[in-house]
């Protein structure tokens, strides 16, 4: 039991203020492992042991069996039970689940910080208690921090991109309405894909990890794995940092998450490091292989077929779009949309023909 202000040990302190910093405290604001703490009668030092979910006395107020004085939980003198190390009595809490830290924003960023810089602390907290529902809300919050800016960015990008082009071929009103609807639809898709993909992926990896751990002879509840993985998501918040996050940061931040997840899980489940590392990496490698196969055999062939078709249409009808920047997927897909819309002959502006690029790009 440490002072929440300065960290001073509050064992055997009869007063209700910290001797070091003067901060007030009461035993009931702490949580302990059951039977890890002795609660002593202030009159005769008769010991009692807390047995409820917070390791506190039940009932909170009673008559001392030795001196018959009235004992109140909050006025008793506390010390670690014999044989229990001082740092092993606290029921650590994940900041996200700790109402003493403050409001939801403070708790969120405290947990993000812990996930990034001291995951072992979260692991300790999970050793005492795991609440899958709270961890899930934390995961949803992290995904929101990442998804909402990217959805807003998508709306802005789709609304502003026609202005960067060499001029719209449509009349203002309908084009704007189209663009707004397209961008809202796109933003919803971005949001949904972040939430669904994020949670489903996380659940799948957690499930696979629990399975692999079992194959290694460690029976770790799925709930513990899920909470460990969710509370390790702190580094992923950095994806929301404009420009830096999603383009440069995805891979290092994901690796950071993997490292944090391994540390938390090893602590929370008391499993040796190598088993945890193997169990976390195995599903990721499998997932990577599946995604690569999916792209190679399912996504890419229709995409390249569509590009070829677009190029053929482009050569049949002279079109107005500029050459897409090489290697820029967004520009390519925009160009493709522009191409489909500008198929009617009245949309063609003479003298701006540029069809060489798509052909050379798709030439085998
Ligand atoms: Zn203090
Ligand atoms: Zn007593």
- What's the confidence (pLDDT) of residue 344? 46
Percent of the chain exceeding pLDDT 90 equals 26
Q: Are 264 and 119 in contact (CB under 8 A)?
A: yes
Do 304 and 241 lie in one domain? The reply is: no
203 CA to middle of ligand 1, Å? 41
8 CA to middle of ligand 1, Å? 5
Do 78 and 111 lie in one domain? The reply is: no
Q: Are 249 and 240 in contact (CB under 8 A)?
A: no
* Mean pLDDT in residue range 217-241: 87
87 CA to middle of ligand 2, Å? 27
Do 126 and 264 lie in one domain? The reply is: yes
- What's the confidence (pLDDT) of residue 162? 64
Query: Whose atoms come closest to the Cα of 72: which ligand?
Result: 2
* Mean pLDDT in residue range 91-103: 79
- What's the confidence (pLDDT) of residue 100? 67
76 CA to middle of ligand 2, Å? 10
Burial 280-306 (b: 16+ CB within 10 A, else e): bebbbeeeeeeeeeeeeeeeeeeeeee
* Confidence tier at 42 by pLDDT (50, 70, 90): very high
Do 15 and 45 lie in one domain? The reply is: yes
Chain CA centroid to CA 244, Å? 18
Q: Are 186 and 154 in contact (CB under 8 A)?
A: yes
Do 67 and 153 lie in one domain? The reply is: no
Q: CA-CA distance, 105 to 98, in Å (whole number)?
A: 12
Question: Domain for residue 278, yes or no?
Answer: no
Counting the structural domains of the chain, the total is 3
> Which element (helix H / strand E) includes 33?
none
Q: CA-CA distance, 87 to 2, in Å (whole number)?
A: 9
Q: CA-CA distance, 92 to 169, in Å (whole number)?
A: 63
Q: What are the φ and ψ backbone dihedral angles of 236, each rounded to 5 degrees?
A: -65, -25
Convert the pLDDT of each residue in 254-304 to its tens digit.
889 899 999 999 988 888 888 899 988 988 898 889 888 888 888 777 777
- What's the confidence (pLDDT) of residue 16? 94
100 CA to middle of ligand 1, Å? 15
Q: CA-CA distance, 73 to 61, in Å (whole number)?
A: 6
For 154-205, the DSSP string reads HHHHHHHHHHHSS--SS-HHHHHHHHHHHHHHHHHHHHHHHHHHHHHHHHHH
* Mean pLDDT in residue range 313-322: 57
Among the ranges given (176-190, 234-248, 265-279), the one the predictor scored with the smallest mean pLDDT:
234-248
- What's the confidence (pLDDT) of residue 333? 44
* Confidence tier at 70 by pLDDT (50, 70, 90): very high
Question: Domain for residue 277, yes or no?
Answer: no
Do 99 and 51 lie in one domain? The reply is: no
Question: Domain for residue 52, yes or no?
Answer: yes
* Confidence tier at 337 by pLDDT (50, 70, 90): very low
Tell me which of 244, 271, 298 is where a domain ends: 271
Question: Domain for residue 279, yes or no?
Answer: no
Structural domain harbouring 125: 92-271
Instruction: Say yes or no to pLDDT of 248 above 70.
Output: no
Beta-bridge partners for 17: 24
CA angle 192, 195, 200 (to 5 degrees): 115
Tell me which of 91, 116, 141 is where a domain ends: 91
Convert the pLDDT of each residue in 141-160 to its tens digit.
998 888 887 788 778 877 77
Among the ranges given (42-56, 184-198, 320-334), the one the predictor scored with the smallest mean pLDDT:
320-334
Q: CA-CA distance, 236 to 245, in Å (whole number)?
A: 9
Do 83 and 192 lie in one domain? The reply is: no
Torsion (CA) 114, 120, 121, 123 in degrees, nearest 10: 110
9 CA to middle of ligand 1, Å? 8
* Confidence tier at 314 by pLDDT (50, 70, 90): low
Closest CA to 33 of 69, 72, 103, 86: 86
* Residue bearing the bigger pLDDT, 94 or 139: 139
Instruction: Say yes or no to pLDDT of 61 above 70.
Output: yes
Q: Are 243 and 259 in contact (CB under 8 A)?
A: no
* Mean pLDDT in residue range 107-124: 90
Output the average pLDDT for the chain. Answer: 79
Do 349 and 267 lie in one domain? The reply is: no
Q: Which residue has the tokens 């014999």?
A: 82
Instruction: Say yes or no to pLDDT of 82 above 60.
Output: yes
Q: What tokens appear for 134 in the block? A: 């709270």
DSSP 8-state symbol, 147: H
Query: Whose atoms come closest to the Cα of 66: which ligand?
Result: 2
* Confidence tier at 244 by pLDDT (50, 70, 90): low
Q: What are the φ and ψ backbone dihedral angles of 50, each rounded to 5 degrees?
A: -80, 140
Question: Domain for residue 276, yes or no?
Answer: no
Do 99 and 49 lie in one domain? The reply is: no
Do 113 and 86 lie in one domain? The reply is: no
272 CB neighbour count, 10 Å cutoff:
11
* Confidence tier at 74 by pLDDT (50, 70, 90): very high
Do 251 and 288 lie in one domain? The reply is: no
Instruction: Say yes or no to pLDDT of 125 above 80.
Output: yes
Instruction: Say yes or no to pLDDT of 136 above 90.
Output: yes
210 CA to middle of ligand 1, Å? 41
* Mean pLDDT in residue range 298-319: 73
- What's the confidence (pLDDT) of residue 159? 77
Helices and strands (H, E) in the chain, number of each type:
10, 5
- What's the confidence (pLDDT) of residue 327? 45
Query: Whose atoms come closest to the Cα of 47: which ligand?
Result: 2
Do 10 and 81 lie in one domain? The reply is: yes
DSSP 8-state symbol, 349: P
213 CA to middle of ligand 1, Å? 42
Q: Which residue has the tokens 């830290």?
A: 101
Q: Are 342 and 320 in contact (CB under 8 A)?
A: yes
* Confidence tier at 7 by pLDDT (50, 70, 90): low
- What's the confidence (pLDDT) of residue 163? 64
Length of the chain: 364
Tell me which of 220, 236, 271 is where a domain ends: 271
Instruction: Say yes or no to pLDDT of 364 above 60.
Output: no
- What's the confidence (pLDDT) of residue 267? 86
Q: What tokens appear for 233 in the block? A: 């998501």
Question: Domain for residue 179, yes or no?
Answer: yes
């Amino acid at each position: 039991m440490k002072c929440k202000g300065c960290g001073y040990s509050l064992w055997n302190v009869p007063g209700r203020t910290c001797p070091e910093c003067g901060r007030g405290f009461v035993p009931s604001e702490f949580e302990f492992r059951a039977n890890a703490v002795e609660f002593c009668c202030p009159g005769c030092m008769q010991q009692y042991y807390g047995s409820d979910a917070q390791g506190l006395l039940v009932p909170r107020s009673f008559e001392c069996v030795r001196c018959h004085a009235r004992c109140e939980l909050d006025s008793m003198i506390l010390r670690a039970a014999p044989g229990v190390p001082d740092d092993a009595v606290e029921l650590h809490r994940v900041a996200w689940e700790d109402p003493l830290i403050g409001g939801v924003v403070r708790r969120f960023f405290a947990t993000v910080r812990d996930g990034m810089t001291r995951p072992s602390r979260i692991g300790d907290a999970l050793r005492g208690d795991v609440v899958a529902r709270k961890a899930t809300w934390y995961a949803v919050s992290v995904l929101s921090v990442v998804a909402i800016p990217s959805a807003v960015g998508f709306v802005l990008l789709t609304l502003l991109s026609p202005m960067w082009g060499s001029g719209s071929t449509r009349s203002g009103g309908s084009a704007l309405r189209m663009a707004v609807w397209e961008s809202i639809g796109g933003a919803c898709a971005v949001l949904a894909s972040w939430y669904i993909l994020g949670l489903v992926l996380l659940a799948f990896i957690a499930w696979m990890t629990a399975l692999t751990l079992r194959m290694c002879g460690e029976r770790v509840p799925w709930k513990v794995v899920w909470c460990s993985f969710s509370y390790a998501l702190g580094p992923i918040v950095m994806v929301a940092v404009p420009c830096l996050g999603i383009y440069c940061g995805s891979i290092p931040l994901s690796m950071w998450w993997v490292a944090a997840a391994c540390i938390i899980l090893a602590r929370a489940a008391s499993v040796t490091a190598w088993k945890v590392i193997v169990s976390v990496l195995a599903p990721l490698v499998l997932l990577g292989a599946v995604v690569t196969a999916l792209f190679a055999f399912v996504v890419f062939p229709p995409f390249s077929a569509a590009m070829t078709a677009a190029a053929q249409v482009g050569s049949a009808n002279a079109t107005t779009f500029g050459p897409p920047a090489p290697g820029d997927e967004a520009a390519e897909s925009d160009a493709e949309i522009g191409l489909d819309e500008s198929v009617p002959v009245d949309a063609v502006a003479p003298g701006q023909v540029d069809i060489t690029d798509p052909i050379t790009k798709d030439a085998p």
